[in-house]
Amino acid sequence: MQIAGSTANEIFESIRLLVLSGSLKSGDALPPVRDLAAHLGVNRNTVAGVYKRLSVAGIALTQGRYGTTICAPAGKGEQEGRIPGSPLVDVASGNPNPQWLPALSTLIGAFKRAPCLYGDPTVNAGLAEIAKNWIAGDCPEAYELNLTHGAVDAIERLAAAHLIAGDQVAVEEPCFLGTINALRIAGMRAVGVAIDGEGMRPEGLEAALKGGAKAVLITPRAHNPTGCSLTPERAQALGQVIARYPQALVIVDDHFALLADSAYHSVLMPDAARWALIRSMSKALGPDLRLAFVASDPETSRRLQQRLSSGMTWVSHILQDVVEACLRSSAVARQIASARSAYAMRRRELVAALRAHGIAADEPPDGFNVWIPTAGDGRSLVHGMTQRGWLLRAGDAFEVQRPVRGVRITVSMLEDGQAQQLCGDLRQCLSERANS
């Protein structure tokens, strides 16, 4: 046995160096606490403390009776976004259509202000007023408001503020790429909860929370990748489950709020203890306007503010002014309404074309994407479509624990007539797979 040391610090450093040198690799099991303690001649509590420290550091994962194993090194994972210069028709990127974003150049004169300095309030008063009017009634009354650099930034900060590396977080499966990556970077363990056309399934959430999940992340509408949205009945059922686990942090990621067709249905009871509601600007105003409103209970707000304090990582007041100008502009409001209708039309067109070619597809309630379930691995289908000039996103990119069979098509960039061509090529690929 290569592990050495007689103190907790020496044993920790010995294991860390073995990982850095490659002697211990991802998935390798560490000895049981009792065995390693006997080998090194130390108290079992010393080894147990070392394993806990390795878990917090993201080096190892402790799973009770299943033992402790070395974690995979944190990586970027698969990312959303386009591939510049690609000759393929990109229906995989998850991007909004640039033509349907507000022209910010017309608003330049609307956000002139005196420079902000260290110690100034982190949230502009005008933007806070807009946010509070928008959020009122959608969450418990006793809340505080913060700003982050987008929804994914909010998720990562909230997780880091409340949880420790190795904690379980219940998420929808399939799960949004940004969420998977944020939790991986923070060292959290995502626990997949199955979804259907009405959103996260209550019995799956109950099992995850009973199994020890310390937090749950729910998309109330325009779930990425499937497009599903919570119905009032499903939101109520999930809320009842959550109420039985008051110590769990509940993060509601309403990322598509400005463009949503679906109504918002809250899973938060009036007396919810630890919660946050996130509403991002990125889909409606553009990915470069990385700002999200975060309403939360006062204790969660206090923890979040420690990571967003003036002089450190607060959201730029210039960016806040741009967003405020957009949200007060009647022209931008018309642009957002037009974009909402255009995305809905694209979704309907694609679903109709799929059905016309004999491909099962339910019209998604909301979002940029249409999800197509597949019988087998979506990678082969994506490869076949690539050969025909299309770039799609395979379902395994959204896996948490179980295989995810399907492909995601982003409708925002589809031009008139392309849906029929896309579905014809997709039908050919499916036929070839069935006959092979």
pLDDT at 285: 94
The third-level CATH classification (topology) of the domain covering 111-329 is: Aspartate Aminotransferase; domain 2 (3.40.640)
Residue 168 has pLDDT above 60, yes or no: yes
Domain boundaries, the chain: 8-70, 89-97+332-435, 111-329
Question: What is the per-residue pLDDT across 273-295, written as a single tens digit (0 to 9) for each?
Answer: 999 999 999 999 999 888 999 99
Burial class (CB in 10 A: 0-12, 13-18, 19+), 291: buried
Q: Which residue has the higher pLDDT, 57 or 157?
A: 157
Pick the CATH number of 89-97+332-435 from 3.10.450.50, 3.30.565.10, 3.90.1150.10, 3.40.1160.10: 3.90.1150.10
Q: How far apart are CA 181 and CA 76, in angstroms?
A: 7
Distance of CA 351 to CAs 87, 207, 222, 336, 363, Å?
Answer: 25, 34, 16, 23, 6
pLDDT at 75: 52
Q: Which of 211, 287, 206 is nearest to 242 (CA)?
A: 206
pLDDT at 106: 66
Domain boundaries 8-70, corresponding CATH code: 1.10.10.10
Question: What is the per-residue pLDDT across 335-370, written as a single tens digit (0 to 9) for each?
Answer: 999 999 999 999 999 999 999 999 988 777 899 999
Dihedral angle computed from the Cα positions of residues 249, 139, 148 and 115, in that order, rounded to the nearest 10 degrees: -140
pLDDT at 435: 77
Q: What is the mean pLDDT of the chain?
A: 89
pLDDT at 311: 53
pLDDT at 50: 92
> Is it true that 89-97+332-435 and 111-329 share their CATH fold?
no
